[in-house]
Amino acid sequence: MGLSLWLVPTAEQSAKLSWLMHIRPPTAKMFNSYPRFHPHITLVTVPSTTPVEELVAAIPSRQSQVKVAFSDVVVSNAYFRSVLATIEPSPYIMSLQTEIVESLKIRNPPSPMFPHMSIYYIDDTEAEERTRILQELEANGTVIKTEEGVQIHTSVGPVGVPTGPETRPEPHDDALQGFDGAEIWVALCDGPVESWTVLEKVVLH
């Protein structure tokens, strides 16, 4: 795909979300379903030949942390948005993206369904698995939808085999209604998902 700028949660929030995201249910059939990747919101993607320094320079100086709120959890017909949390388009995240896009002089729309945080990538040949896993998340109380938005309870989780070293979060105070965008990462997103590489990290104030 290219080089991307990711807005990522705090380390604690990332650990909670990773427990939920880094599983592989026995119902999955294809090898590229449920790959592991870090929780993030893609702000922009550019060709891989773009110098990393240009992307770092496009991040507003003295950029403060960005609070984001989950508005829903849905499925889509795109692999990289198989199951995703839609994000409230607050002025803060929208203006951050606008500044980056203008700095890089990008003409094409940056990221489809912006802003969103993908939870699972699931192969197009088993698209029914996207609906099944979301129904499971809702049935077991992992995803709770309210009038105010959505809560993701990371100590519950779907039925699956954890694929990473994460430990299950304590059940108290585990619900996330969003996260604090604490860093912006430059990620090289070429090749298989689990081979993606983080090239640079910028800590927000």
Q: What is the dihedral of CA 130, 134, 135, 139, to 10 degrees?
A: 160
- Both tokens of 107, joined, read 């003409």
User: CA 55: distance to chain centroid?
Assistant: 19
- Residue 169 is predicted with a pLDDT of 53
Q: Distance between CA atoms of 93 and 73, rounded to whole angstroms?
A: 19
CATH number of the domain where residue 75 is located: 3.90.1140.10
167 pLDDT above the threshold of 90: no
Number of domains in the chain: 1
* Whole-number pLDDT of residue 104: 95
What token pair was written down for 9?
Answer: 């949660």
Average pLDDT over residues 123-130: 97
Residue 105 falls in which region: left (phi positive, over 0), alpha (psi -120 to 50) or beta: left
Closest by Cα among 140, 136, 159 to 23: 159
Name the least confident of 125-129, 132-136, 157-161: 157-161
pLDDT-based confidence at residue 154 (cuts at 50, 70, 90) = confident
Residue 88 and residue 68 in contact, taking contact as beta carbons nearer than 8 Å: yes
Q: Which domain holds residue 121?
A: 2-203
pLDDT of residue 172: 46
Three-class SS state of 183: strand
Computed on alpha carbons and rounded to an integer, the radius of gyration of the chain in Å comes to: 16
Q: Mean pLDDT, to the nearest integer, of 92-116?
A: 89
CB-count burial class (<10 Å; 0-12, 13-18, 19+) for 194: exposed
